[in-house]
Structure 1
Amino acid sequence: MHVVIVGAGAMGTCTAYYLSQRDNVRVTVFEKTNVACASSGKAGGFLWSEGDGNLSKKSYQLHAELAATLNGKEFYGYRGVDTYSVTMTNEEEADEGTTGNGNKKKAKKKVNDHVPWLNQHRVTHCDELGTKADTAQVHPYLFSLTVMTAAVATGNVTLKTGTGVARLMYSNDKQTVTGVVLDDGKQVEADRVVLCLGPWSQTFPLDKEEAAAVQEMNDTVLRRASSSSCSLPIESVRAHSIVMRVPKTSPIGAQALFTAILHHSKMHEPEIYPRPDHTVYMCGVQDRDVALPSSADQVQVDPQAIAILKELAPTLSDHLVADEEHMVAEQACYLPLSCDGSPLVGKHPSFNQLYVSAGHAVWGILLSPVSGLMMTELLAEGEIRCVDASLVSRLALDDRLG
Structure 2
Amino acid sequence: MKFALQRRPLGSGRKAVAFVSWSCLLHTTTLAMTVVPKNVVVVGGGVQGTSVAYQLALRTPASTTITILESQQPASAASGKGGGFMARSWGDGSPTQGLHELAFDMYSDLAQTLGCESYRKLPVLSVSPGYNGMKAARKNKDLAKIIPGWLDGTVGRVGSMGGGEDTAQITPQEFVEKMLEHQSRIQVVLGTCWGVETDQGSERGSRKVATVEYNPKENPAEKKLLPADTIIVSAGPWSCAAEDWFHGAVQLPMEGIKSTSIVWKKPEGNDVDATALFCGEDDRFGTHLEVYPRPDGTIYICGIGGSDYVSKEDLKEGAFREICEANELRVAAAKASFQEMSSVYKTSGELDRSQACMRPCPPDAMPYMGSVPGYEGAYINAGHNCWGIAWAPACGKAMAELILDGESRCVNLTPFDPARYTPDAQRGTRGRKQRGNNVGEQW
TM-score tier (shorter) = 0.7 to 0.9
**Residues in 2 aligned to 1:401 and 1:50: alpha-carbon distance in whole angstroms:** 32
Matches within 5 A, 1:241-260: 241-247=261-267, 249-260=269-280
1:9 aligns with 2:28: no
**Residues in 2 aligned to 1:26 and 1:108: alpha-carbon distance in whole angstroms:** 56
**Residues in 2 aligned to 1:111 and 1:135: alpha-carbon distance in whole angstroms:** 21
**Residues in 2 aligned to 1:174 and 1:79: alpha-carbon distance in whole angstroms:** 47
Residue equivalent to 1:109: 135
8 Å CA contact 2:43–2:70 kept in 1: the answer is yes
Amino acid at match of 1:59: A
Task: Flag the 1:118–1:167 CA change in 2: closer, same or farther, 3 A.
Answer: same
1:366 maps to which of 379, 383, 390? 390
2:182 maps to which of 127, 150, 155? 150
Task: Flag the 1:322–1:355 CA change in 2: closer, same or farther, 3 A.
Answer: farther
SS at match of 1:376: helix
SS at match of 1:88: coil
1:230 aligns with 2:250: yes
Displacement, 1:17? 0.8
1:195 aligns with 2:224: no
Displacement, 1:33? 0.4
1:69 maps to which of 95, 110, 113? 113
Residue equivalent to 1:395: 416
1:169 maps to which of 197, 204, 223? 197
Displacement, 1:132? 2.3
CA RMSD of aligned residues (A): 2.4
Percent identical across equivalent pairs?
A: 28
**Residues in 2 aligned to 1:308 and 1:121: alpha-carbon distance in whole angstroms:** 16
Task: Flag the 1:317–1:350 CA change in 2: closer, same or farther, 3 A.
Answer: farther
**Residues in 2 aligned to 1:8 and 1:247: alpha-carbon distance in whole angstroms:** 33
**Residues in 2 aligned to 1:312 and 1:261: alpha-carbon distance in whole angstroms:** 10
8 Å CA contact 1:240–1:333 kept in 2: the answer is yes
Give unpaired runs (5+ residues) of structure 1.
96-106, 211-227
8 Å CA contact 2:259–2:358 kept in 1: the answer is yes
8 Å CA contact 1:81–1:254 kept in 2: the answer is yes
SS at match of 1:345: strand
Amino acid at match of 1:247: P
**Residues in 2 aligned to 1:301 and 1:202: alpha-carbon distance in whole angstroms:** 24
**Residues in 1 aligned to 2:112 and 2:243: alpha-carbon distance in whole angstroms:** 39
After the TM superposition, which parts of structure 1 deviate over 4 Å for at least 4 consecutive aligned residues?
A: 118-121, 290-293
8 Å CA contact 2:103–2:393 kept in 1: the answer is yes
Deviation per CA, 1:200-237: give whole Å up to 9, x if none. Answer: 012345348x7xxxxxxxxxxxxxxxxx4533122111
Displacement, 1:314? 0.8
Residue equivalent to 1:81: 122
Tell me the TM-score normalized by structure 2: 0.75
Residue equivalent to 1:23: 60
Task: Flag the 1:355–1:151 CA change in 2: closer, same or farther, 3 A.
Answer: same
**Residues in 2 aligned to 1:10 and 1:63: alpha-carbon distance in whole angstroms:** 12
**Residues in 2 aligned to 1:108 and 1:298: alpha-carbon distance in whole angstroms:** 41
Amino acid at match of 1:340: D
8 Å CA contact 1:258–1:271 kept in 2: the answer is yes
Amino acid at match of 1:81: L
Deviation per CA, 1:324-351: give whole Å up to 9, x if none. Answer: x822110000101122121111111242
Matches within 5 A, 1:232-311: 232-247=252-267, 249-264=269-284, 268-284=287-303, 285-290=305-310, 292=315, 293-294=318-319, 296-311=321-336
Task: Flag the 1:116–1:56 CA change in 2: closer, same or farther, 3 A.
Answer: closer
1:128 aligns with 2:160: yes
Task: Flag the 1:83–1:29 CA change in 2: closer, same or farther, 3 A.
Answer: same
Amino acid at match of 2:43: V
**Residues in 2 aligned to 1:142 and 1:397: alpha-carbon distance in whole angstroms:** 29
Residue equivalent to 2:358: 334
**Residues in 2 aligned to 1:322 and 1:333: alpha-carbon distance in whole angstroms:** 29
SS at match of 1:169: strand
Displacement, 1:16? 1.0
Deviation per CA, 1:56-89: give whole Å up to 9, x if none. Answer: 11110110110121122x2xx0001001111122
Deviation per CA, 1:215-269: give whole Å up to 9, x if none. Answer: xxxxxxxxxxxxx4533122111111000112364243111110115342x6521
**Residues in 2 aligned to 1:15 and 1:257: alpha-carbon distance in whole angstroms:** 31
SS at match of 1:58: helix
Between 272-281 and 43-52, report the one with greater CA deviation: 43-52
1:51 aligns with 2:70: no
8 Å CA contact 1:4–1:179 kept in 2: the answer is no
Residue equivalent to 1:320: 345
8 Å CA contact 2:152–2:343 kept in 1: the answer is no
Deviation per CA, 1:304-329: give whole Å up to 9, x if none. Answer: 12121122121121223598x82211
Q: Which has the higher strand share?
A: 1
Task: Flag the 1:234–1:289 CA change in 2: closer, same or farther, 3 A.
Answer: closer
**Residues in 1 aligned to 2:347 and 2:322: alpha-carbon distance in whole angstroms:** 24
Amino acid at match of 1:383: E
**Residues in 2 aligned to 1:56 and 1:401: alpha-carbon distance in whole angstroms:** 27
Q: How many residues align?
A: 357
8 Å CA contact 1:374–1:385 kept in 2: the answer is yes
8 Å CA contact 2:289–2:302 kept in 1: the answer is yes
**Residues in 1 aligned to 2:206 and 2:328: alpha-carbon distance in whole angstroms:** 46
SS at match of 2:106: helix
Residue equivalent to 2:438: none
**Residues in 2 aligned to 1:286 and 1:372: alpha-carbon distance in whole angstroms:** 32
Deviation per CA, 1:354-401: give whole Å up to 9, x if none. Answer: 1011111111111000000011111111111112xxx32112223233
Displacement, 1:51? 3.2
**Residues in 2 aligned to 1:349 and 1:31: alpha-carbon distance in whole angstroms:** 24
